[in-house]
Chain A
Amino acid sequence: MNTPHYKNILIFLLTSVGLIVLPHVANIPPAMFGFFCLMLGWRFAGIWQPQYLPTTRLLYFLMLFALILLVSHQHRGLLGRDAGTNLFILALGLKLLEIKTERDIYLVVFLAFIVAASLFLYQQSLFMAAYILAVCCVLFATLVAINSIQIHTRAALKTAAVILLQAMPMATVIFVLFPRVEAPRWMLFEEKNKAKIGLSDSMEPGSISDLGTSEELVFRVKFTGAIPPPKYRYWRGPVLSYTDGKRWTQTNSQRFKAQLAKPSYAGTAYSYTLLMEAQEKNWVFALDIPAQYASPLEQNGHYQLINPENPHKRTEYQITSYTQYNTGYLTQLEYQDSTQLPSEPSDKIKQLVSQLHGFDDKPENFISQTLNHFKTEDFHYTLTPPLMEENPIESFLFNTKRGFCSHYASAFVYLMRTAHIPARVVTGYQGGKFNTVGNFLEIQQAHAHAWAEVWIENQGWARVDPTAAVAPERIEQQLDINLLELGSDIRFETSNSQQQENWLKQMSQLWNNADYQWQRWVVNYDSSNQSDFLSSFGIHDFKAMMKWLMALVGLITVLLALLLLYQKKKAIDPALRLYQQFCQKLQPAGLIRTDREGAMDFAQRAKLALPEQTEAIDHITNAFIQLHYGRVSTREDFVTFAKLVGGFKLNDRRLE
């Protein structure tokens, strides 16, 4: 087993194994990755220097070492994704050093496939899928090379690629139709200890700025019909009613009101698909405010959607929202909650409220007065406001006057409550990046926002966004995160720069769209998606699914079989056909080959009749005999023969 062919196979194998493990560099402990690289490097060297491969005793020692390595890194438990990945990678590394027979190569290839699958447990992006597909092609090419006598690298890769390509339609059909059953809970080994950033259930002035520049995707929204104008794109998250003067938190009486009365809706109904990324919290950020939604979604007393069984993975929801609504009356409990203040407001604040006619005018007028105060006074919108440790609201209103959404929202609500108007802070996201290619909105962490809600007679809870008064661009237009640097003035994308979208931006939109479709249709294709999708084709139950699966796989097999096995049969040996052409060329000279006459005998006769062409006749006859009756004939022989026959010309003096 040390032929050049075998060396080639090993190079193939080791390269593909290395490529499979490479993306795991971020997922496994460095010691483990180092150990694997050592094994791989050792085996690579062993291709040319077989004498340095480990002996059986050394292998046992290495195995023991690997075992210790494995156990020492299992603080997260012996079962589960990380442990399994480590185990398979170490097993793969050790097996590499012990390749003796063809069977071992197969085992390595199969282990590599399992490691490839484990990569998907960490990352399911389109890029990763393409990468794994390419490496699988190399793995299959290894198998092709083993099963061929002598094959070039390119030919083996081509064969493997062709087989993979032919396998794709069938794999797609099985993927779509294979019944998805949710694994029972106890079987799930999902990692839950990873810290994710996102909105929290409390707010302190400044807390949202942590999310301020994060481009991490939170959710995507695809509208089926009308798209709400930008100023209505508020995605409702937790409602914060209780304050201790600094922190704002949710109250416990969230579920109460929802049981009593539904709001009345008006205006356009916006239906959309919301694709939430995996979230730490079970909040679902619906367009303000959601009216129709399907189980398992629930709505709490603050009109916020909740998924009680947080799936901890990307999930899709169908929701309909109205941007115009009337929530109706206020319960006693709600009134108490939304006018709560930690202590009697200071005189300075009371003075401001009375100055803005908070105590003697209608609530609507007080609201507009307050917003006007933010607009006309020297208030600024910035993501890096000065720290306000003590009395944050007072120092913001009278001293610093610099802040962002949470400062404005909390100060506004505080002022409202001072005037005994029910008000509360709502957190969530605002706006979103519109992807023109895929026609959907992408909402990133940077779109996190806080605004206020005020209860007004005959209107119910109404949204008031004090940030809009200070920085209307923040609401009306999209925040350009790329230009947004902490400490500098915030710039907003103007319509002018939108027109100058360069191709780079378009490419990124195209990619984002492909990624969205990939996440939506492939990665997120679960049992409910599947039944929805198949129902549209009239496939409703398991039995029908199986029937269709069998039928389509059968159909693809038949088509492939036709494609692969249909072979144009040559009626006769092409050499014979050429020889017949040669005989026809001799016909004018009166030489006609009879059925019983052998090629040799005919040549004898021809040579007698055409003595000056003896050589040509001999050449052709010998080549024909070699091709038609000979033991081995090559393509080159045939080409030579074809040239000989083509070049033959009857040179008969009798005809001249």
Chain B
Amino acid sequence: MDDAIILTHRRIFILPTQRGWAMLLLMVILLLIAFVYNNNLTYLLTFLIASVFFITILHTFKSLAGLVVQAGQTQAVFAGEAAGFDIHIHNPNANERPHCQIKLTKPQSFTLKPYSKTTQTLYSLTQKRGWHSVGTVTVFSTYPLGLFYAWSPLRFNSQTLVYPKPSPLELPFPDSPSADSEQGLSHKGTDDFYGLQEYQAGDSIKHIHWKAFAKGQGLYSKQYSGAKNSAEVWLHYDDAIGHDTEQRLSQLCRWVVDAERADIRYGLVLPTVKLPPDCGSAHYRQCLEALALL
């Protein structure tokens, strides 16, 4: 995980917005009026506006200064989906941040009360499988008058894994020698519930005892006896149809998704990796990772 970044004067840049430049033009006009009519109060108004303009720099800077930004969790996605990056923003100071914005591709607004924090999930569209970096996250603000744009470009090492895009073709699982049961057969009905166990990462979401969770008793997974599916498929790289590696991986990905959904034990054979048949979210993730990183 990345270290937290504190927004200091070294990280915050500030420039007038288009409106800021327009206001400069307004000041020139007012100064001209004051000069031509030799009118001291117009001078005073002009200088007041100029001072407000100038002081706004400090206020805009202040709306970002001191924020602590930290990259949080990421979720793996399939190629073509938007990858979400969690960004934690913490306001350690006593001043409120009435309007800050954060942007990866699309700006999102947030406010921060004193000593509070928020988590913004930023989405960026993925194209290719493999590791996808978050890129440059920009935290910016034009508060209070919209005359200045203060921004801080932040680079995080945060990455998310992008799985291949599942093929849209629904093809039957390849015949495998070790498959000894009907494809797609569900064995759910024969499972016998025998107890609860504390939830561990990797347990299927379907097995979480939601009722207990709703009562605030924590996360528990339901355990089934005899839940071993007798159906088993071997998803072989060579069996996948496609012109190139990507298409084949796409097809394999589709099979993995289908098999997991159908609760069939599946094994994956890739040119470099061989994963023995299994099922469950841990295995599922392992297979997809292998596909993503091939």
Task: Kindly state whether residue A144 has any CB partner on chain B within 8 Å.
Answer: yes
Min CB distance A469 to B, Å, is: 46
Min CB distance B288 to A, Å, is: 26
Q: Which of B75-98 contact A (CB under 8 A)?
A: 86, 88, 92-95, 98
Task: Kindly state whether residue A478 has any CB partner on chain B within 8 Å.
Answer: no
**Do the beta carbons of B98 and A151 come within 8 Å of each other?**
yes
Residue of B nearest to A525 (CB): B40
With a 10 A CB-CB cut-off, give which of A181, A523, A553, A564 has the most chain B CB atoms.
A564
Task: Kindly state whether residue A439 has any CB partner on chain B within 8 Å.
Answer: no
List of B residues within 8 angstroms of A551 by Cβ: none
The docked-state distance in angstroms from the alpha carbon of A146 to that of B117 is: 24
List of A residues within 8 angstroms of B88 by Cβ: 631
The docked-state distance in angstroms from the alpha carbon of A620 to that of B266 is: 45
Task: Kindly state whether residue A120 has any CB partner on chain B within 8 Å.
Answer: yes
Task: Kindly state whether residue A78 has any CB partner on chain B within 8 Å.
Answer: no
Task: Kindly state whether residue B59 has any CB partner on chain A within 8 Å.
Answer: yes
Task: Kindly state whether residue B187 has any CB partner on chain A within 8 Å.
Answer: no
The docked-state distance in angstroms from the alpha carbon of A166 to that of B62 is: 15
**Do the beta carbons of A147 and B146 come within 8 Å of each other?**
yes
Residue of A nearest to B57 (CB): A557
Min CB distance B55 to A, Å, is: 5
With a 10 A CB-CB cut-off, give which of B26, B55, B99 has the most chain A CB atoms.
B55
**Do the beta carbons of B115 and A574 come within 8 Å of each other?**
yes
Task: Kindly state whether residue B34 has any CB partner on chain A within 8 Å.
Answer: yes
**Do the beta carbons of B145 and A144 come within 8 Å of each other?**
yes
Q: Which of A524-548 contact B (CB under 8 A)?
A: 524-526
- How does the 8 Å CB contact mask read for A96-127 relative to B, with 1 for contact and 0 for none? 00000011001100100110111011001000
The docked-state distance in angstroms from the alpha carbon of A455 to that of B41 is: 48
| Cβ contact of A147, chosen from B30, B37, B143, cutoff 8 A | B143
The docked-state distance in angstroms from the alpha carbon of A260 to that of B102 is: 83
Q: What is the number of contacts between chain A and chain B, taking CB atoms within 8 Å?
A: 179
Task: Kindly state whether residue A561 has any CB partner on chain B within 8 Å.
Answer: yes
- How does the 8 Å CB contact mask read for A144-180 relative to B, with 1 for contact and 0 for none? 1011111100010001100110111011001100101
Interface size on A, residues (CB 8 A): 72
- How does the 8 Å CB contact mask read for A619-638 relative to B, with 1 for contact and 0 for none? 00000000000011111001
With a 10 A CB-CB cut-off, give which of A167, A187, A190 has the most chain B CB atoms.
A167
Task: Kindly state whether residue B33 has any CB partner on chain A within 8 Å.
Answer: yes
- How does the 8 Å CB contact mask read for B19-33 relative to A, with 1 for contact and 0 for none? 100110010011001
Residue of B nearest to A107 (CB): B22
The 10 A-B pairs of least Cβ separation, nearest first, read A167-B51, A170-B51, A120-B41, A631-B119, A174-B47, A171-B47, A171-B48, A567-B93, A171-B51, A167-B52
The docked-state distance in angstroms from the alpha carbon of A175 to that of B47 is: 7
Min CB distance A415 to B, Å, is: 49
List of B residues within 8 angstroms of A166 by Cβ: 55
**Do the beta carbons of A144 and B36 come within 8 Å of each other?**
no
List of B residues within 8 angstroms of A569 by Cβ: 66, 92-93
**Do the beta carbons of B99 and A148 come within 8 Å of each other?**
yes
Min CB distance B260 to A, Å, is: 28
Min CB distance B47 to A, Å, is: 4
The docked-state distance in angstroms from the alpha carbon of A190 to that of B39 is: 11
Q: Which of B39-63 contact A (CB under 8 A)?
A: 39-52, 54-56, 58-59, 61-62
**Do the beta carbons of A81 and B48 come within 8 Å of each other?**
no
- How does the 8 Å CB contact mask read for A180-199 relative to B, with 1 for contact and 0 for none? 11110001111000000000
- A residues contacting B by CB (< 8 A) are 81, 102-103, 106-107, 110, 113-114, 116-118, 120-121, 124, 128-129, 132-133, 136, 140, 143-144, 146-151, 155, 159-160, 163-164, 166-168, 170-171, 174-175, 178, 180-183, 187-190, 313, 522-526, 553, 557, 560-561, 564-565, 567-570, 574, 631-635, 638
**Do the beta carbons of B119 and A570 come within 8 Å of each other?**
no
The docked-state distance in angstroms from the alpha carbon of A525 to that of B34 is: 13
List of A residues within 8 angstroms of B19 by Cβ: 103, 106
Min CB distance A112 to B, Å, is: 10
Contacts A170-B55, A560-B55 given; indicate if A633 touches B117 (C-beta within 8 A): yes
List of B residues within 8 angstroms of A121 by Cβ: 33, 37, 39, 42
**Do the beta carbons of A149 and B99 come within 8 Å of each other?**
yes
List of B residues within 8 angstroms of A567 by Cβ: 65-66, 93-95
| Cβ contact of B58, chosen from A136, A168, A560, cutoff 8 A | A560
- B residues contacting A by CB (< 8 A) are 19, 22-23, 26, 29-30, 33-52, 54-56, 58-59, 61-62, 65-66, 86, 88, 92-95, 98-99, 109-111, 113-119, 142-147
**Do the beta carbons of A565 and B65 come within 8 Å of each other?**
yes
**Do the beta carbons of A564 and B59 come within 8 Å of each other?**
yes
Residue of B nearest to A631 (CB): B119
Contacts A567-B66, A569-B93, A633-B117 given; indicate if A526 touches B38 (C-beta within 8 A): yes
List of A residues within 8 angstroms of B66 by Cβ: 567, 569
Residue of B nearest to A572 (CB): B92
List of B residues within 8 angstroms of A118 by Cβ: 33
Min CB distance B15 to A, Å, is: 16
Contacts A106-B22, A144-B145, A151-B98 given; indicate if A113 touches B49 (C-beta within 8 A): yes
| Cβ contact of A568, chosen from B61, B94, B117, B119, cutoff 8 A | B94
List of A residues within 8 angstroms of B48 by Cβ: 133, 136, 164, 167-168, 171
The docked-state distance in angstroms from the alpha carbon of A187 to that of B36 is: 6
The docked-state distance in angstroms from the alpha carbon of A143 to that of B56 is: 12
**Do the beta carbons of B37 and A149 come within 8 Å of each other?**
no
**Do the beta carbons of B55 and A146 come within 8 Å of each other?**
no
**Do the beta carbons of A143 and B146 come within 8 Å of each other?**
yes
List of A residues within 8 angstroms of B58 by Cβ: 557, 560-561, 564-565
20 more CB-based (< 8 A) A-B contacts, given A187-B36, A635-B113 = A113-B30, A113-B49, A114-B33, A116-B45, A117-B34, A129-B41, A144-B143, A147-B142, A163-B52, A163-B59, A164-B48, A164-B52, A181-B35, A183-B38, A523-B40, A525-B40, A553-B54, A567-B94, A568-B93, A635-B116
The docked-state distance in angstroms from the alpha carbon of A569 to that of B94 is: 8
| Cβ contact of B26, chosen from A110, A155, A634, cutoff 8 A | A110
Contacts A140-B145, A166-B55 given; indicate if A522 touches B61 (C-beta within 8 A): no
Residue of B nearest to A553 (CB): B54
The docked-state distance in angstroms from the alpha carbon of A587 to that of B110 is: 40
| Cβ contact of A124, chosen from B41, B49, B94, B117, cutoff 8 A | B41
List of B residues within 8 angstroms of A631 by Cβ: 86, 88, 118-119
The docked-state distance in angstroms from the alpha carbon of A180 to that of B254 is: 78
The docked-state distance in angstroms from the alpha carbon of A235 to that of B46 is: 38
List of A residues within 8 angstroms of B116 by Cβ: 633-635
**Do the beta carbons of A113 and B45 come within 8 Å of each other?**
yes
With a 10 A CB-CB cut-off, give which of B34, B47, B118 has the most chain A CB atoms.
B47
**Do the beta carbons of B118 and A182 come within 8 Å of each other?**
no
Min CB distance B105 to A, Å, is: 20
The docked-state distance in angstroms from the alpha carbon of A132 to that of B145 is: 19
The docked-state distance in angstroms from the alpha carbon of A148 to that of B55 is: 18
